[in-house]
Each structure stands twice: as structure tokens, then as C-alpha cells.
Structure 1
Amino acid sequence: MDAWSTLSILLLLLLVAPDVHGKFLVEKNSLSVTSPDSLKGTYDSAIGNFGVPQYGGTMVGTVTYPKDSRMACKPYSDSDTFRRKSGGLPNVVLVDRGDCYFALKVWNAQNAGAAAVLVADDRSEPLITMDSPEEDSAASEYVENITIPSALIEKSFADKLKRALSDNEMVNINLDWRESLPHPDDRVEYEFWTNSNDECGPKCDAQKEFVKNYKGAAQILERGGYTLFTPHYITWYCPQAFILSKQCKSQCINHGRYCAPDPEQDFNRGYDGKDVVVENLRQLCVFKVATEERKPWVWWDYVTDFQIRCPMKEMKYNEACAEDVLKALDIPVHKVRDCMGNPNDDKDNAVLKSEQDAQVGHGSRGDVTILPTLIVNNRQYRGKLDKAAVLKAICSGFQETTEPAVCLSEDMQTNECLTNNGGCWQDKSANVTACKDTFRGRVCECPIVQGVQYSGDGYSHCEALGPGRCKLNNGGCWQHTRNGVTHTACSDRQLKGCQCPAGFKGDGFNTCEDIDECRERVACQCPDCTCKNTYGSYDCSCSGDLLYMREHDTCISKKGSTAKVGWVVIFTVLGGLSAAAIAGYVVYKYRLRSYMDSEIRAIMAQYMPLDSQNDVHHHLQEDA
């Protein structure tokens, strides 16, 4: 392995590893055994980081330890193996640790009918949190569909359960999540540790989906003052010895103080880690500016829209796209820029420095090392990153009888299109908007109006397409009426776009300016012509008694012009007839004279010989 490879691996470890002096706490729930008497008592269990823990609730069940497939690494042959029988308690399946992912064990047990899963540790050690597989596309297909709770139990406790079950004793337990989250007051405080990087695989996809789905509920709680929400972003520092290395320069800002891993783990292509840090900083500043303007919930709008409009795979993950989103949501761009500061400064950035300090655990909360992570009332949330599951956890953070109405009702809808049109495109003059309110929050999607489809990105542009589009606000094209005449750049012959009509020039959408045909010398150019420009056209007149002919761009006489033409034709015709008559007369006279000459010569030949005839007769006699 060469020196650069060694340095790259070392730097990656330094960038993704937590402080060696930090701590990681395991969130636990209470597990009580109600029978048999030999096992009665309360035991610790570590809540799984997937599935849906029943925050705020309890579950009573019977423990079942299967005779076969105790590792639960393969699907059970009978889908009703652990299905609850009529009148019976739910089955909590005990499986052994090892050989496959925790999540796969729970998935197989769920498909066989289990109501919950306990995983028996195979070593004597402190409990750990069962996490979902990292960067495993096959696992991502089932992890998101796990809906039952699960927990890891200590080996010593698991061995006791197994002995009791082998002795054919019924083991009943009570899983209690009511105290999993503290509720010190009538407001829930929670943090969401996230990342703007959208190319980190299944976890990034799950995070984007969660933000989009949970946004509406989060904004209701925040607007009502029921919660105090704070977003956070993890960054690491580059060790002093490597600040000038290629790796640090591409992954860090502020001279190595704030770093993030390269999205593609390749320093020669795509985006760099420092691009991620800059966007993380921008999102923190969006929250800061929005909070100062007393509307912190706008952070959810910005993050959702940025994910949709500025993805890495489309090469739009940049400042220009981000600021387009800010403008659409009416967030002051200059304030966000001021908050961000200069990423090239060789000094601390106050916002990011505060974030690094917050990563370190304090009180009952451990260091934040996993993304994404939710901290609710200073306790780390465990379970599926899902709107319903997270909302249930947050609502369990309220003291009894102090929870808001949204926690007691399934009606979580809100119409975000009523405020700033949700940051979407709209045409106020035609009362047409791309904002659509849904249960998950608003979406920006070009509409269909009166059978006419609008097309565009839904945020900054929508354009009517197809026949009939000119009936809807003139197809978004330019239009002006003057002196009772309407000029328009929209035509049903064009299925899209706008084109200024004849006599005008411009883009057709916002402007069409009158063409001065006289000044631009495109018409009325004959010597006797006088040009006058009009709106959308021109008037051309001729001097004296001349008349302008537009199709020929020329002038002719007004007086007798028709008669003059007529006499010319008559004279021409008469002249032709006369010439024909004369020619005919000459021919007639010539032919008549020739005829008479021949007749006279014939008569004379009968009465007197002609010299020529004698000569002819004489020659004939000689020949004889």
C-alpha cells in the first residue's frame, strides 16, 4: 500500500470517528416478567434502532423460543408459526444473536406472526443498540417494512428465560415504553441530526423520505408552540499534520476546522466533502435567520425543496440552486450569506463551532455519532425513521393531559399553499398555481386547467401547452390592446411558446415592441413615397396625385389611370386590326393580279403564236 493510500485511510478514520473521550449511551426500555414467580422482576433491554417502538405504551405478551431456526436468519416455513391465537396473548419471540443482521432476524419473525422480538445476547457484556445494516441495498428493502418493536437482552437474563421455557413454564412479560422518554414540562424539545448529502445510499433515501413526509406534522407542532425543534449537522476537524494534504483541502473548510467525508469517496470526481459542509452551514443559517424572523418552521420547507430541486445526481447541488430556493420561500438571501461567513477564512466559524460542541454528549445523552439521529427531550430516539413512529415518540414526551390535540387526532393536515403560495409558481392574473396541498405537505407541480396542461419545474416556471392554451391568460404570452385592436403573441397554431405578431419584435412572453418600419426602411421605399409609422404597422402615402400600391411598394397616378390603360389597349387592338387588314389587302391584290395575268396569257395563246411557243415547236420537230 502506497503512502497516499495509507494517508487516505487514516484521514477517513479521523473524519468519521468520534472523540475518543466521548460516550455513547444505549436507550433502554423497561421489561418486566410477571410469571413465573422465579423470574418476576424488572430487567433492562436495549431498544432496536429499527421497527416501531411503542413509545408511551405497553405490551403484555408470552415469550416463545422456537425449536428450530433459533437464529432466525432464514424465513420460517410456516407464516403462522407465531401468530396470535384467538383469546391468547401476543407472542414475543426470543431468538439468538449471531450469523446475520439483527434486522433480518426481526423481519423473519414478523413475517411468521411475532408481535415483538427479544434478541438474546451471546456474550456477557454491556448492552448495545441493534442497528440496521449500513449500505446494504438488499437489507434496505425489508428494514423499512419492519413494524414490530424489538430489543436486545443480556445473556444472563436470556439464559434464565430459556431454562424456564425448557421446563415448560409459561413466561409472561410486560414491555413498557411509557418512561422511555422523559417529559419535564408541557413542551417537547427535540433535535434532528442530519446531513445535506443526498448520495449516501439507502439511509440518505430514507432520510429524504422522512423529511418530506414529516414536514407537515412538524410545522403544526412548531407553529402551535408545542415543540422546540433544532436541526444539527455533524462535522469533524482535520488533524493539524494533514491540513495541507489533498484530502483535507477537498473535504474541509476554514483551513481544516470543519470537514465532511467525500460523497463518492473519490477525491477526483463529483462533489467534495467541503461542498457538503458549505451546504450544511447554509441550512443551519436558514434555520437561524428563519428563527430570528419568528418562523423557524420554514427550515422544513427549505430542506425539502432543496432535496427536490438541487440533487447531486443532476449536478445542481450548488449555491445558485440553493439561493433560488431561498428566494422562492422569501428567505432573505443576504442574511443567510452574512450568517455563513467566508469558508476560506483561517478562523473559527461561530455556527459550525457551536455544532461541534453540541455533538459531545452531556447529562443523560451520549455523543451523536450516527446519522440520521433524533434526540427527544435529551434522549436518543430508537426505531424506524417514519412519520407515524416519530410523531408517536414526540407525543409521548408530553406529560399526561398536556399533549396537543394533534397527538389525539389523526387529522394532521395543513394547507401550506395559503402562505406565500408554498414557494411555488403562480399566475395571479389567471388565478393558476402549481401549489398542491397534500397530507404530507405541499408539492409544487404544474397543473391542468380546463383541459390544458402546464409544463415546467413547478417552482419558478410553468407554461401552458397544446390547443386551447391561448384561452388561459393568453397562454402566458404578451398581449396589448390599442385603439380597439388587440395584438397577441399567442397562437393556437403553436403548441407551445410565444411569438410576437407581424409588426412587432421581442421575446413574446413579456415584451413585444412595435417595429418602426419607416426608420428601419423595410417598407415604403419608393421615390415618391412618404412613410408614417403606426402601432403594429405603417401608413405609406404618395405625393401629388399618385396612389400607393402596397403589394408593389410603388406609386401610380390617381387621375385617369384606368382610362389611360384602356385607351392604350384600344389603340393597340385597333392598330393590330389595321395592320392585319392592310396585310390582307396586299395579299389579296397580289393574288388577284397573278390570276388575271395567267388568264390573259391563256386567251392570247389561242389566237397568236408566241415566240416562246415557236421555239418550242421548232425544237420538237428537229428532235423528230
Structure 2
Amino acid sequence: MGVRRSELVGLFLGFLYLSVTPPSSARFVVEKNSLRVTSPDKIKGTYDSAIGNFGIPQYGGSMAGAVLYPKENQKGCKEFSEFSISFQSKPGALPTFVLVDRGDCFFALKVWNAQKAGASAVLVADNMEEALITMDSPEEDGSSAKYIENITIPSALIEKSFGETLKKAISGGDMVNVNLDWREAVPHPDDRVEYELWTNSNDECGVKCDMLMEFVKNFKGAAQILEKGSYTQFTPHYITWYCPQAFTLSKQCKSQCINHGRYCAPDPEQDFSTGFEGKDVVLENLRQLCVFRVANETNKPWIWWDYVTDFQIRCPMKEKKYNKECADGVIKSLGLDAKKIEKCMGDADADSENPVLKEEQNAQVGKGSRGDVTILPTLVVNNRQYRGKLEKGAVLKAICSGFEETTEPAVCLSGDVETNECLDNNGGCWHDKKANVTACKDTFRGRVCECPLVDGVQFKGDGYTTCEASGPGRCKINNGGCWNESRDGHLYSACLDFGNSKCQCPPGFKGDGIKTCEDIDECKEKKACQCPECSCKNTWGSYECTCSGDLLYIKDHDTCISKRAAETKSAWAAVWIILIGLAMIGLGSYLIYKYRLRRYMDSEIRAIMAQYMPLDSQAEIPNHMNEDRA
């Protein structure tokens, strides 16, 4: 059954693909660059080459090199190291351009193998006489994902006859020097560049979807600078298919299409029985188109880049968040008018044309020098399809090559692109007006929404809709987002720095602690003041108890006592204090009296004894009786 389901999906996708435009009117234009042979003289001249749709072409510039045709591994399908072949050029020598033959493996693999061996560019010689085609990277291949995004050298397809000419000259011993020139690959008529990106909101389509999402995220900052300065005019586009009339009532068509089969997208998982459906992708594509239109009406078309990058981060298919509810959250965070966007999208169930998607299908058809858009993703610069890797630096070069000489903006003349996106509506990130705190951080690649660290307090959350202070000190920042209120000089807060609960109403209050804390009527709920003589009065955050008559309330015992008893007790206490004081004074006086009396008696006794028995420490007292006898 699995084989049959995959066959059915493939058959249905085939119908969708063939239904883009009638085969007779489909027109694919191959973007070319100039290849000029400078030596040997016998093959000098200018030839066409088709730019490869991977790697990094040098838009607006040129590159000179010497062509080498390997004697082994001439199709480049194996690593050249297996044959001990290196294309690394010696100091002072021209870079090496490797010539390989078409066939047996992917174009991108040939270029990758040559790059690893040291090549600076790759020329692929066609193996049949035909008009030049565009070398594209594989649609879906697990092994190719490992190298496609790492290819950084340019490549080009050349005609079979020209390839044979180069091989003959090389085998004859001639040094073949060529110059690859991309200076005229993009028209540059004036001082403004018009460019458009044909994209898709599906994030589960494999390698190309991953590369596209990475590019949009990386290029956003540069794109917004160019747009805000009116240097460029950017327009996003989305490819849709329509279901053939014979299949409009089928289950497959109904699950992949809106407006009765008029606008369809392939099933993201290529399985009609599980996951998201093609119509989910069509609706999100339509929503992103309307986001651009509504933003453009307010003269801020660059908000499209914010919406797309935020939607990729917040609403991925893998997490089952690819839906309207998640999209509405992104729209709200960016301050866009959701009602206008809904009106722009129209009725997906109506059996009628959708004006927005109808314009997209018409724009998909090539006009003038631009061919039909059939490759996703595709970048178009000044009506010329960009070829090469969707990489910030490479795309910026291509856009800058679209300006008339001397009219390039400063961003094209410097290696730095910087803007502070947080100054406008906090970049659509979470912010707290009261605390003046935002989750928006400006970087070289554009703003990111990341909960901040403020005064040592770390905020935690998704950065887009919520950020909460966490850990010690959190109550210093706007009371930690908890309830707080002040009345009559009393301030109460529900914020707790520690413990499992972050917000808890303080004693005397009840509520969630975040938005509300209501005063508790302790007189009713806590059964305060229960003594018979007590009277309870509720206050904000507390209560007051009084006693009737001349009774006095004792809170510790929740009881009332007589004021007279209290006064009597107080009076007796005072009397006892006085008596004890007098007793202590009397005792002290008696002790002093005894001490002084003792000292006086000791001094008298010493004086009497000194008259009859002089002490060793005193001089001898004269004998008056002997003096009288003489």
C-alpha cells in the first residue's frame, strides 16, 4: 500500500506541476555570464556559459583562471584525492578552473569534488549538442545535503562544441587562460534595484527549504536597511498550482487546494493520510502575502521579513504549530492589523477566484527578459533571475550589481551591515513598559527575541510574548510581575524572592498573587476577637479589636479585663517599687554609716597607742618630764 500511495502522490504532483502554465506558453530563460578566452590566440574570443544554480557567482565582478582538464576522473563523480590529483594553484599563478564532462552524477557533486581538490571555478562541458541549460542542485537527496550548502566556488555549463575546443587546446600543450565575467549578468539601469523572492512557507521540503529559511534569517538585516533607505523595492511571491478540472472533486485535490481546486500546493510529507496538507501551505502562503500588503500600506514593507523569520521560529511543522493560532500570535506581536489581513485573505471555501493568488499565478509567467519561475526558491533582481547559492554575501553582491555605477548605497561599499531593529516597536519582542525592560537584542544578522539579564536578575520565557524575572533579587524588578499596592502609607507586595511560589499574597490577603490580592475580612474568616466583650473591626491587610465599656483588650490572650483592675494593679506595682527603692536606699545608708564609723574608731585607737608605743613609721615623741628636771 505504501508504494501505491507514493505513486498516487507522484502522479498528482505531476498533474499540479504540468498545470502551472500551458506547455506551449512555458518559457524558461537561462541566465548567462560571459566567458572570454584570452589565450591561446587560435581560440581567443567570447563565449556564452550558463550560471550554475549553486555555489557563489561573483555578480558585478570577474575572475581570471587557467583551465585544466584532468586525465582521470574526467566526469568528476569521484573525489580527485583518490587519483592523487590536486588543483591547488601555486603562489603567483592564476587560479585553477577545472573542466569536467557532464554525466553519471549530479552537477553539484562534480563541483564539490573539484572544490575539495583546490579548484577556484568549474566548467562543465555538455555531452550533447543543445541549447544551454541551468545546472540545478538535486531536489531531495540525503547525501547531497552534506555538500550543497558548502559549495562556495562558481560554476558554469558550456556547450559541447566549445568544450571539445578547450580539450583539444589543452591536450596540444597550450596554456588555456579564460576570464569569467558576471558584470553584465544583472541589468543596472538606475539608482534603485527592484528584486523579488519566490518562496514557500513549507518548512518540511528538505534541503532547499532549510537553505531558504537560513537565508531569510541571515539576509533580513541587510534587506531592511536597503528597504528603509528606499534603495530597493522588494516584493515576495509564492508559487501555487491549480488542480485539473477532472480532479477537483477528488480527495487529493480537496486536501491540497483551496477555492475549489484553483490554488494548490503539494502535500508537505507527500502522504495524504498524515500530517499537514497542501491547503495548509497555500493558506499560510496567502497569509504571508497579505502580511506584506498590509505592512506596505503603512509604508513598512520590511515587516514581512520579521513575520517570516518569527513564524519559522515559533510555528514549525515539526512541533505541530504550523497553524492560524500561532500565526495570529506573530501578527499581534508585530503590531499588524489582523482584521485587514483576514479581509485580504478572503474566503478559502468560495467557488471563485482569489484576487491575491490570481495575481501570483499571473506573475509567475515570464515577461520581457525574464522566463517563467519554475524553481523554488528563486531570486529575481531587476527582472533577471539570480543563479547561485542563496547566501547573504552572494545575494547582496547581486543586488548591489543592479545599481547604476556611482549610485550604490553605502552598504554596497562596506563589509558591514548593521541596524538597530529594537528601536522600532521593540522589534516585536516582549517588553515591560513599567520596568523599561525588553527582550529585543540587536545583532548583525537582525534582532533576536531573548529574555534579558537585568541588574543580576535573569528573565525566563519565550522572548516573544512572555519573560518573567527569576531567582534572587527578582522582586527588585517591577515586583517580579506580582501584585503590589499601597494605601495610607502601607505597602504590600505578593513577590517572594525564594521558595516554590513566585507570587503569593501576603498575610491578610487572598488571590492569585499576580493580578489580584484581596483583603481578608479577619473578623469573619479568621474568627478573631471571640471573647464575649470583644468587638472586631476589619482594616486593609489586618484588623482591630476593642472591648466594650471600660474594659481593656489583651491581644495575646484574646480577652478583655477591667481598666480599674489594671489601674489597681498598676498602683500596687508602683507602691512596691517605691518601698523596694526606699529599702535599698536605707540599706545603702546604713552600710555607709557603719563603714565611716569603723574608720573613725580605727584612727582614734591608733592615736592613743602612738603616745605610749611609737610606731615604726613615726618619729619619737619628746619626753617633757626630763626637760623640766634640767
Quickly name the TM-score band, shorter chain normalised: 0.7 to 0.9
Amino acid at match of 2:47: Y
Partner of residue 448 from structure 2, selected from 404, 424, 443 = 443
Contact 1:436 1:442 in 2 (8 A): yes
Compared with structure 1, are the counterparts of its residues 9 and 134 closer, same or farther at alpha carbon in structure 2 (3 Å cutoff)? closer
Partner of 1:414, secondary structure, is coil
The separation in 2 between residues aligned to 1:27 and 1:517, in whole angstroms, is 83
Matching residue within 388, 401, 408 for 1:403: 408
Q: Identify the match of residue 56 of structure 1 among 40, 54, 60.
A: 60
Equivalent pair of 1:467/1:495 in contact (CA under 8 Å): no
Give distance in 1, aligned partners of 2:507 and 2:39: 92
Deviations 1:102-130 (A, max 9, x none): 11111111111111100111122222111
Specify which of 302, 315, 321 is matched with residue 310 of structure 1: 315
Give TM-score scaled by structure 2 length.
0.85
Per-residue deviation at 1:62? 0.9
Contact 1:466–1:496 (8 Å) recurs in 2: no
Structure 2: which amino acid aligns with 1:49? N
Q: Which amino acid is the alignment partner of residue 145 of structure 2?
A: S
Change (3 A) 1:316 1:524: farther
- Structure 1 residue 518: deviation in Å? 3.7
Conservation of the 8 A alpha-carbon contact between 1:79 and 1:112: no
User: Which of these residues, 75, 80, 86, is aligned with residue 76 of structure 1?
Assistant: 80
Q: Could you tell me the percent identity over the aligned residues? A: 71
Alpha-carbon distance in structure 2 between the residues aligned to 1:498 and 1:340: 43
AA at the equivalent of 2:458: Q
Q: Distance in 1 between matches of 2:10 and 2:105?
A: 27
RMSD after superposition: 2.2
- The reply to whether residue 393 of structure 1 matches residue 426 of structure 2 is no
1:151 aligns with 2:156: yes
**What residue identity is the alignment partner of 2:462?**
D
CA distance in structure 2 between the aligned counterparts of 1:100 and 1:9, rounded to whole angstroms: 23
Please give the residue correspondences for 1:482-561 in structure 2 after superposition, counting only pairs within 5 Å.
482-494=487-499, 497-518=502-523, 520=525, 523-524=528-529, 528-548=533-553, 560=565
Match of 1:326 in 2: 331
Matched, 1:13 2:9: no
Kept after mapping to 2: 8 A contact 1:329/1:422: yes
Q: What is the alpha-carbon distance in structure 1 between the residues aligned to residue 564 and residue 65 of structure 2? A: 114
Q: 1:260 aligns with which of 265, 269, 287?
A: 265
Partner amino acid, structure 2, of 1:517: E
Partner-residue secondary structure (3-state), 1:250? helix
Choose which of 66, 71, 85 in structure 1 pairs with 2:70: 66
Please give the per-residue CA displacement for 1:51-72, whole angstroms capped at 9, x wherever unaligned: 1001011111111111222122
**Alpha carbons of structure 1 residues 522 and 425: separation in structure 2 relative to 1, 3 Å:** farther
- 1:126 aligned partner: 131
Q: Sort the Cα spacing of 1:379 and 1:518 in 2 relative to 1 into closer, same or farther, 3 A.
A: same
Q: Which amino acid aligns with 1:52?
A: I
1:47 is aligned, of 47, 51, 55, to: 51
Does 1:275 pair with 2:276?
no
Is 1:186 the equivalent of 2:187? Answer: no
* Cα deviation, residue 506, structure 1: 2.6
1:151-206 Cα shifts (integer Å, max 9, x gaps): 01111110111111110011111111000011122211111011111111221111
What code does the residue aligned with 1:44 have? D
CA contact (8 A) 1:189 1:376 kept: yes
Map 1:27-426 to 2 at 5 A: 27-77=31-81, 81-426=86-431
- The 1:194–1:559 alpha-carbon spacing in structure 2 relative to 1, beyond 3 Å, is farther
Shift of residue 546, structure 1, vs aligned partner: 4.7
Q: Distance in 1 between matches of 2:190 and 2:320?
A: 45
Alpha-carbon contact 2:60-2:183 (below 8 Å) kept? yes
CA shift, 1:552, in A, is: 6.5
Report SS of the residue matched to 2:47: strand
Structure 1 residue matching 2:77: 3-state secondary structure: coil
1:465 and 1:495 in contact (8 A); partners too: no
1:528 shift after superposition: 4.4
1:199-234 per-position Cα deviation (integer Å, ceiling 9, x unaligned):
112211111111111001001111111111000001
Aligned-residue offset at 1:363: 1.4
Name 2:588's counterpart in structure 1.
none
1:26 aligns with 2:54: no
**One-letter amino acid of the counterpart of residue 368, structure 2:** G
Give 1:437 deviation, angstroms.
Answer: 0.4
Preserved contact between residue 465 and residue 496 of structure 1 (Cα < 8 Å): no
Spell out, residue by residue over 1:520-552, the C-alpha distance to the aligned partner (whole angstroms, 9 max, x if none): 565445554433221112223333345556566
Which AA in structure 2 matches 1:51?
Answer: G
Deviation, 1:471, is 2.0
Q: Secondary structure at the match of 2:434?
A: helix
Runs of 5+ consecutive residues of structure 2 not aligned to the other structure: 570-630
With over 3 angstroms needed to count, the CA separation of the structure-2 counterparts of 1:79 and 1:208, relative to structure 1, is farther
SS in 2 for 1:339: helix
* Inter-CA distance 62–4: structure 2 relative to 1 (3 Å threshold): closer
Q: What SS does the corresponding residue of 2:143 show, helix, strand or coil?
A: helix
Helix, strand or coil at the partner of 1:164: helix
- Given residue 436 of structure 1, which amino acid in structure 2 is its aligned partner? K
**What is the letter of the counterpart of residue 223 of structure 1?**
K
3-state SS of the aligned residue for 2:58? coil
Structure 2 residue identity aligned to 1:369: T
The structural deviation recorded for 1:4 is: 7.5
2 CA distance for matches of 1:237 and 1:466? Answer: 56
Are 1:48 and 1:150, in contact at CA under 8 Å, matched by a contact in 2? yes
Counterpart for residue 482 of structure 2: 477
Alpha-carbon distance between aligned partners in 1 of 2:528 and 2:455, rounded to the nearest angstrom: 42
Aligned residues: 564
Query: 8 Å contact 1:186–1:399 — kept in the other structure?
Result: yes
Deviation, structure 1 residue 482? 2.1
Q: Distance in 2 between matches of 1:532 and 1:16?
A: 81
Cα distance, 1:371 vs. partner?
1.1
Relative to structure 1, is the Cα distance of residues 554 and 322 closer, same or farther in structure 2, using a 3 angstrom cutoff? farther
Distance 2:73 2:288 in 1: 48
User: Is the CA contact (8 Å cut-off) linking 2:468 and 2:480 kept in structure 1?
Assistant: yes
Instruction: Summarize the Cα distance change of 1:53–1:493 in structure 2 as closer, same or farther, 3 Å threshold.
Output: same
Greater Cα shift, 490-499 or 202-211: 490-499
The answer on whether the counterparts of 2:186 and 2:382 sit within 8 Å (CA) in structure 1 is yes
8 Å Cα contact 2:9/2:271 also seen in 1: no
Letter in 2 for 1:371: L
Contact preservation (8 Å) 1:79, 1:111? no
For residues 444-483 of structure 1, the C-alpha deviation after alignment (integer angstroms, 9 at most, x for no partner) is: 0001122221100001110111112112222222222222
Q: 1:357 to 1:557 in 2, by over 3 A?
A: farther
Report the alpha carbon displacement of residue 558 of structure 1 after superposing the two structures with TM.
Answer: 5.6
| SS of alignment partner, residue 430 of structure 1 | coil
**1:78-100 Cα deviation digits (max 9, x unpaired):** 88811121221111110111222
How far apart in 2 are the matches of 1:3 and 1:82?
A: 48
SS of residue paired to 1:301 = helix
Take 1:235 and 1:58, find their aligned partners in 2: how far apart are those partners?
A: 37
| Partner SS for 1:138 | coil
